[in-house]
Structure 1
């Protein structure tokens, strides 16, 4: 569903060029959830931006469902096929538009009919009452706002969701609800996910495979099972995994 080959992204001009992504290759099958994890500034969100069309200046090749995409141009059909869910559920929603207006906007852009019915069904899918379409973002909790953002992404019936730290701005208890919602939606609609996160626990919970990034490159690609077992080859991957386990008494570590 997503294929990336030799992706390079740089910002700035000589002599101060920042080479953010360095020769990344990536293949994601239909229905798969693939995670990108690494520290801030490693280039994971830049890869997501290039695939989404937000980063225009890149070299290499990107294909969506077998169709090559260009850095400087995206057709409406390509844009509709993949949708993005942003990190900040408040900043990504227009504060002066009702939820109904926010959900109607992509339908208008793509000329889709049955807008009221689609809005109601989208709210149903993310577990929000239909009456919420008359509310404004500031009248909703953080978790409810992120459900609206997911509904907006789903309303065009895409095949791919690009998830940019979708739970990092939420309380821990709400994070679990959103992750479980995303997991259920993926299974019901056979969606393909590309999830970006700095949280190893989040990507391990949701993803089938996980690419660990450092300084613009993949240092290791591991399955969920390998990540859980700790069957890893690169020191940086092991370091991230150990950090995600949190504090453990010395006695328990020695027992392992």
Structure 2
């Protein structure tokens, strides 16, 4: 298991007068095997942090470390064997003309695995699809099934850190709990370290050990899930988010 450390992370888009600072001076630690949540309103910078960690945003400064080893701006294959990401939209993250077999086999091949046939079947079993889904195409799958394929693809290199960007928000409510329970089981089985972005505090409360609350590109507060459940934040903004979430849940009940 690997730990993740982020120190004074700044992420921006554009240059000079067109520059937009999306994340400013973000710092947090995720212990080996831990699960850390990033929450906040839309545009607060939480997904941008994940994209900076995984190398999808090149314009960043600060320090990102995995088990004390510095992560360079240019990442190689070894990084992606350790760190993988599951994206929000399973409809956009899978190529419509690539079968499930192609998606998983190609990922395994890129990471140098040999026993690809066996590994594809094992991955499908791991995410609860089974081998009958191996030669199906994305249009033949439901949203939940597509996200299971995306999770299988992320697991293919045998990573130790999984970045989860709103992994259930594009799914039907009836399917969301299934995917969250699957992720919890996979974390325990594979001893994974999670960083999860969500706008849903109840999801983070179910999945994570501690939470960073973001506002306008900055981390306002980091608190334990136990403290969040007791409604005992230090920040007035965090209290506002908790109150809004509680009122929304009561209205839906």
Superposition TM-score, scaled by structure 1 size: 0.94
- 2:17 aligned with 1:25: no
Find the counterpart in structure 1 of residue 58 from structure 2. 56
Query: For the residues of structure 1 that align with 2:204 and 2:79, how far apart are their CA atoms?
Result: 26
Runs of 5+ unmatched residues, structure 2: none
RMSD: 1.1
Runs of 4+ in 1 over 2 A off after TM superposition: none
Partner in structure 1 of residue 43 of structure 2: 41
Compute the displacement of 1:14 (Å): 1.9
Give CA-to-partner distance per residue, 1:221-246, whole Å, 9 cap, x none. Answer: 11111111101111111111122222
Which residue of structure 2 lines up, in the alignment, with residue 81 of structure 1?
A: 82
Q: 1:16 Cα shift?
A: 2.8
1:171 maps to 2:156: no
**Alpha-carbon distance in structure 2 between the residues aligned to 1:203 and 1:54:** 24
Distance in 2, Cα, partners of 1:30 & 1:49: 20
| 1:67 equivalent in structure 2 | 69
Distance 1:89 1:46 in 2: 18
- Aligned equivalents of 1:52, 1:21: Cα separation in 2: 15
| Shift, 1:12, TM fit | 1.6
For these two proteins, the number of residue pairs brought into alignment is 248
Q: What is the rounded CA distance, in whole Å, between the counterparts of 1:173 and 1:223 in structure 2?
A: 28
Structure 1: distance between partners of 2:16 and 2:157: 41
Please give the alpha-carbon distance, in whole angstroms, between the structure 1 residues aligned to 2:68 and 2:78. 13
Q: Which residue of 2 aligns with 1:6?
A: 8
2:28 partner SS = strand
**Alignment gaps of 5+ in structure 1:** 250-256
The corresponding residue for 1:254 is none
Equivalence for 1:147: 148
Residue 80 of structure 2 contacts residue 157 of structure 2 at CA under 8 Å; is this kept in 1?
A: no
Give the CA deviation at 1:66.
Answer: 2.1
> Following the alignment from structure 2 to structure 1, what is the Cα–Cα distance between the partners of residues 133 and 109?
20
Equivalent residue number for residue 211 of structure 2: 210
Q: Matched residues in 2 for 1:115 and 1:65: separation?
A: 29
| TM-score, normalization by structure 2 | 0.95
1:253 is aligned to: none
- For 1:202 and 1:138, how far apart are their aligned partners in 2? 28
